[in-house]
Amino acid sequence: MKIDLNQLNDSHFGISTPDPLRFAFNKKSSPHAGGMSEPVKSEDRAKVFQQITSNAVAKSHKRCLYIHIPFCRVRCTFCNFFQNAASRKLVDDYFEALLLEIKLKSQLEWTQSGLFHAVYIGGGTPTDLSPDQVERLGNAIHGSFPLSTDCEITLEGRTNRFTDEMFEKALAGGFNRFSFGVQSFNTQVRRSAKRLDDREVVLERVASLSATDEAPIIIDLLYGLPYQTLEVFEQDLSDFMATGAHGVDLYQLVVGGTAPMLNMVEKGRIPPPATTPDKASMYEFGVNFMRKHHIKQLSVNHWARDNRERSQYNSLAKTYAEVLPIGCGAGGNIGGYGLMHHRSLETYMTAIKNGDSTVAMMVKQGPNEFINAALKVGFDSGVVRRSELPAFKGSDTFDLLTPLFQVWQSRGLVELERDYLVLTLAGSFWVVTLAQSAIEAMNTLNKPNVMHSHKSQHSDNKSFAKVAR
């Protein structure tokens, strides 16, 4: 058995160039890699959902819970995740519907049959809930789901309006990790991206929250925004250090879909975002900066200042862990099926009111899903380990992929060791493209025509998404 290199091309191999970091591929097209899947017909979804959630299954699988808050007070120009403008009434009504869904989903036999190791409240902007709602949400999670003793419970959001009162109530509700989107500290960059608050305000808030040492404070930084030159990015990284925040994600800006930035650039109102080669240089700068300051690298784009930051959700949700989705626009996967909830707020609210299913889309994951998940974990960590890849029909998956790995090695994207594939800096920058190519290479071993490729597994941020990210 062999993967068929003839079915692949330079978009999988990368071109041969003396500068693979900047030029191996054209550009990053999708935020996440994903495998093949087969849509479940709408009339069959309820039955399948009942099947996969009524059985108590083997407890060895780790589980995550993803709860989506689909509101933001202001839409950032670069963002592909925006769903609804927040108003108190909309948020309050949604919150009550969410509590109802939590109650219903927590009563499923499947839910009570195993432990949840990570919970992520993502958005949108979960910190646009009120302080009381944040505490009630935390209490509802603790009261409804079997959580592991070291369960990581993350609240995502922004520092704007994240008051001391909200922090205290979040801690009282059992949240033990906070992830704030900063994107850039630079005021000009922030204003042009329609971020709330100027540099000093954000710097001070991240610093004061971090100084409490109550819980890990993590920030997201983007690279490649309009006005964000390499010098500005360098200052962003120094600012991260100065705040004392416990961890940082560095995300390459990828603007697509309906994000307002493209239109603004077209009209000449703001300069264009960085080109891909420029973003590659920024990534290189970021990696070297972290190295210089001996900050521990947890994955190709996430760094931790101390051992308290574990980034459990991000690593688990990308693996074979099952993810129970809750809320409008949430996505996840259970029992070999991918699930995506209604994205329209109205449809979601009506479904909850009428006791109907919240699932808008369901797919049966393909036969390679376990291998794909293991590949994604490996690529995301920067090292693909032979021992971590499940066998494909009795053959060693690492061996099967070796012809592709050899091409990448000749193009400066990886270093191939006997049992390990180690990404170079260039490979780390192009990680999603490499993971996707490996998955597609494995697909050449399956019958080609039955399934449809779907790119990402986690909605919005991390499920059919997320997946932050």
Ligand X SMILES: C[S@@+](CC[C@H](N)C(=O)[O-])C[C@H]1O[C@@H](n2cnc3c(N)ncnc32)[C@H](O)[C@@H]1O
**Could you list the residues that contact ligand SF4 (CB under 6 A)?**
72, 75-76, 79, 81-82, 123-125, 181
Among 217, 255, 359, 445, binds ligand X (CB under 6 A): 255
- Which partner in ligand SF4, ligand X, none is near 82 (CB below 5 to 8 A by kind)? ligand SF4
Asked if 461 interacts with ligand X (CB under 6 A), we say yes
Percent helix, strand, coil in the chain (nearest 5)? 40, 20, 35
Minimum CB separation from ligand X for residue 173, in Å?
19
Tell me the two tokens of residue 190: 């922030």
- Rounded distance between C-alpha atoms, residue 65 and residue 370, angstroms: 19
Asked if 181 interacts with ligand X (CB under 6 A), we say yes
Q: Which is nearer to ligand X, 81 or 167 (CB)?
A: 81
User: CA dihedral defined by 294, 295, 297, 300, rounded to 10 degrees?
Assistant: -100
Minimum CB separation from ligand SF4 for residue 308, in Å?
25
Which residues face 68 on adjacent strands?
122
Q: ω before 256 within 30° of 0 (cis)?
A: no
Q: Which is nearer to ligand SF4, 78 or 398 (CB)?
A: 78
Q: Nearest to residue 352, comparing CAs of 324, 326, 332, 334?
A: 326
8 A C-beta contact, residue 296 and residue 451: no
Asked if 222 interacts with ligand X (CB under 6 A), we say yes
- Rounded distance between C-alpha atoms, residue 188 and residue 178, angstroms: 26
Asked if 158 interacts with ligand X (CB under 6 A), we say yes
Minimum CB separation from ligand X for residue 193, in Å?
10
Q: Count the neighbouring beta carbons within 10 Å of the beta carbon of residue 175.
A: 24
Minimum CB separation from ligand X for residue 461, in Å?
4
Tell me the two tokens of residue 337: 């099926």
Minimum CB separation from ligand X for residue 255, in Å?
5
Amino acid at position 251, single letter: Y
8 A C-beta contact, residue 287 and residue 421: no
Contact pattern for ligand X over residues 406 through 445, marking x by CB under 6 A: ----------------------------------------
Among 49, 66, 81, 167, binds ligand X (CB under 6 A): 81
- Which partner in ligand SF4, ligand X, none is near 468 (CB below 5 to 8 A by kind)? ligand X
For β-strands 420-423 and 383-385, DSSP reports them as: antiparallel
> Among the candidate windows 253-261, 310-318, 393-401, 406-414, which touches ligand X by CB under 6 A?
253-261
Asked if 468 interacts with ligand X (CB under 6 A), we say yes
Asked if 157 interacts with ligand X (CB under 6 A), we say yes
- Rounded distance between C-alpha atoms, residue 218 and residue 180, angstroms: 6
Which residues face 252 on adjacent strands?
223
Minimum CB separation from ligand X for residue 257, in Å?
9
Asked if 220 interacts with ligand X (CB under 6 A), we say yes
- Rounded distance between C-alpha atoms, residue 240 and residue 207, angstroms: 9
Positions that interact with ligand X (CB under 6 A): 72, 78-81, 123, 125, 156-158, 181, 183, 220, 222, 251, 253-255, 460-461, 468-469
